[in-house]
Chain A
Amino acid sequence: MFMRDFSPGAFRQIVVGLALMCASAVALAGDAVKAPTLGTPQLGTPMTAEEIAKWDLTIFPDGRGLPPGKGTAVEGKAIFESQCASCHGDGGRGATAEELVGEPKPPSKDNMSKAIGSYWPYATTLFDFTRRSMPPGAPGSLSADQLYAVTAFLLHANGIIGEKDEMTASTLAKIKMPNRDGFVRVDAK
């Protein structure tokens, strides 16, 4: 930035800025040498709640952040087959991408599965990850209803919900996954 704006006025300010190392008065071109200000720059632009809403993709385990919408496993089956099965295999049994379907019980010595039903502690994570990252060829392309439907399909395939159970912001957040208590925090509490 310094080097691109090299009018004489800017140059005088650059000298002041370099002497200060962290002056906030450096960038603007002008004829007068401004008095330097000490202290940490305050260069963030305040944002409104409406602006934040466009950026905020977070979905918390309690369901905060889930969008309006609904879907069932029956509706999700076709979406899975057209959007997901080419990598995750028929019914989510795994192919070039990992298996998604396992027994609805926590891992044990005889079954160290990390599939959704066995390992994932929160159902909200499934919706969130699918929304932000899937399908990899066109992430962000599924509608909220499609996301609820394909989430329902995978939860049903893992034996967590019934085929006709409707997933919404409310119902999804209430699901208790079998491995909810399966994790021990190591470097953070």
Chain B
Amino acid sequence: MTADLSGDDLIPVAGNGILHRRLFLKNTLILAVAGAAGTAFVAEPEAAAAPAPVPATGIDPSSPPWMHKPGLPFTGYGKPSKFEARTLRNIGGNRDLAGNGVSWTPLESLEGIITPSGLHFERHHNGVPEIDPAHHRLVIHGAVRQPLSFTVDNLLRYPMRSHLIFLECGGNSNAGWHSEPIQRPVGSFHGLVSCSEWTGVPLSLLLDQAGIDAKASWVIAEGADAAVMNVSLPLSKLMDDAIVALYQNGERIRPENGYPLRLVVPGWEGVVNVKWLRRLQVTDQPVMARNETAKYTELLPSGKARQFTFVMEAKSLITSPSPGLKMRGPNVYEIRGLAWSGRGKITKVEVSADGGKSWGLAALQEPVLSRCFTRFRSAWAWDGGPAVLKSRATDETGYVQPERDVLVAERGRDGYFHYNAIVAWGIDEDGKVAHVYA
């Protein structure tokens, strides 16, 4: 596979071969993509033994065997192809407590902007409860005129709305604070983020029925898992756009994502999107729960800590090429990646092949939605020499994703949460991709 390297389109717009984004308007262009490191140069499989002769009226006997016998029957619920069995969440659990830990979305194996529900990242504090919806209630109480209890069936009768949004753990990408760049597939480093359509009842409808006290300003949300996880949220945000979600990507929410009810708070860190939601207490102050004091706060070099850092700031990363994938020789490659911001729409993603000395605009794939994954693409003429790839997102507020040294200078390296710096991939002459600080 070779590309025609002549023509104005192939004059780089930024150093080391970044090409103009208009290339993506020309659907005749063939771009190379990085491949799995272990299979880049594997020979074609040997041909199977010659099939038995078929009558002259039969179709070509060398056509694949699945064209010659009936396929499998219908299934009540479809599964991925068995040939995709390695596309899995990467599980990082506590060895003494299997239900405490995370599983990572394999971002390097996925395309588009929707994360399949079965590959949505997980963070559990004490396992996934098996909740019978007939015995689950959502209670709203505290500074309200009338405390209320809702059954799941009753919530299903309310008007609903959807948010097509990313959901990101506040601890995502925390290996970025390490002094040495971690070497893992991109999903196992940055994959505590996923993107789904969440559908449910605007929380404002339920709070309005309960009747909020004029002095109320916070709501304590609590889950029905074995950690009975709780956090505090400003009432204003919940009234603005939070939903009690019942559906994820069109089907009822999966157990590991909060079945039967999940609080969804668009653009805000994962932990406040309380799964298995059982209780909302309207109040005039935060409860100072463990997960808003001891955890999910960011200790700064001054000794002070940032608290209630709810918004997930703009971030982007290149999913292909990325560590674990391999370049297949000098060629024009498609750089693929994801960008998102908890503050709104992504307005611009720039890519660099010279470590950030120069930048070219990437093409943003439609739709570009507020607080949703945005897929970006860029064409890159790799000459086979060393390169450092970066991407840099800008959102509609004008916020620009920072370089790592800038973020570390501001926050130190003990904050753990809310790492959103520019990610750099180094590419060597062999086409091997590594995570680098550059």
User: Is this pair of chains taken from one and the same complex?
Assistant: yes
User: A interface vs B, CB < 8 Å?
Assistant: 1, 21-22, 24, 26-27, 40-48, 51-52, 55-61, 86-87, 96-97, 106-109, 112, 114, 116, 119-122, 124-125, 128-129, 132-133, 136, 139-140, 182-188
Query: A96–B311 Cα gap in the complex (Å)?
Result: 30
Interface pair B294/A114, CB less than 8 Å apart: yes
Chain A residues lying within 8 Å of B301, measured Cβ to Cβ, are 109
- Would you call B29 an interface residue if the criterion is a C-beta within 8 Å of the partner chain's C-beta atoms? no
User: B interface vs A, CB < 8 Å?
Assistant: 94-97, 99-100, 125-126, 139-141, 146-151, 153-159, 205-206, 208-210, 218, 220, 222, 226-230, 233-234, 268, 278-279, 281, 283, 285-290, 293-294, 297, 299, 301, 303-311, 414
Return the chain A residue nearest B152 by Cβ: A1
Query: A116–B140 Cα gap in the complex (Å)?
Result: 31
Interface pair A133/B125, CB less than 8 Å apart: yes
Interface pair B287/A59, CB less than 8 Å apart: yes
Q: Tell which of A21, A61, A119 touches B294, judged by Cβ atoms closer than 8 Å.
A: A119
Knowing A44-B149, A57-B222, A106-B303, the reply to whether A183 touches B293 (Cβ < 8 A) is yes
Interface pair A125/B96, CB less than 8 Å apart: no
Knowing A56-B141, A106-B303, A183-B297, the reply to whether A47 touches B290 (Cβ < 8 A) is no
Chain B residues lying within 8 Å of A107, measured Cβ to Cβ, are 299, 303, 305
Q: Tell which of B97, B208, B309 touches A187, judged by Cβ atoms closer than 8 Å.
A: B309
Return the chain A residue nearest B156 by Cβ: A1
Q: Is the interface of A mostly helix, strand, loop or mixed?
A: loop
Interface pair A136/B100, CB less than 8 Å apart: yes
Chain A residues lying within 8 Å of B234, measured Cβ to Cβ, are 187-188
Chain A residues lying within 8 Å of B289, measured Cβ to Cβ, are 125, 128-129
Interface pair B157/A27, CB less than 8 Å apart: yes
Chain B residues lying within 8 Å of A27, measured Cβ to Cβ, are 153, 157
Interface pair B287/A43, CB less than 8 Å apart: no
Whole-angstrom distance between the Cβ of A75 and the nearest chain B Cβ: 23
Interface pair B303/A132, CB less than 8 Å apart: no
Chain B residues lying within 8 Å of A128, measured Cβ to Cβ, are 287, 289-290
Chain B residues lying within 8 Å of A51, measured Cβ to Cβ, are 147, 149
Knowing A87-B96, A183-B293, the reply to whether A46 touches B307 (Cβ < 8 A) is no
Query: A146–B305 Cα gap in the complex (Å)?
Result: 31
Interface pair B303/A40, CB less than 8 Å apart: no
Interface pair B158/A43, CB less than 8 Å apart: yes
A-B contact pairs, 19 of them (CB 8 A): A40-B208, A41-B205, A44-B210, A45-B148, A51-B149, A58-B287, A96-B94, A97-B96, A97-B97, A119-B293, A120-B294, A128-B289, A128-B290, A133-B229, A182-B303, A185-B308, A186-B306, A187-B309, A188-B233
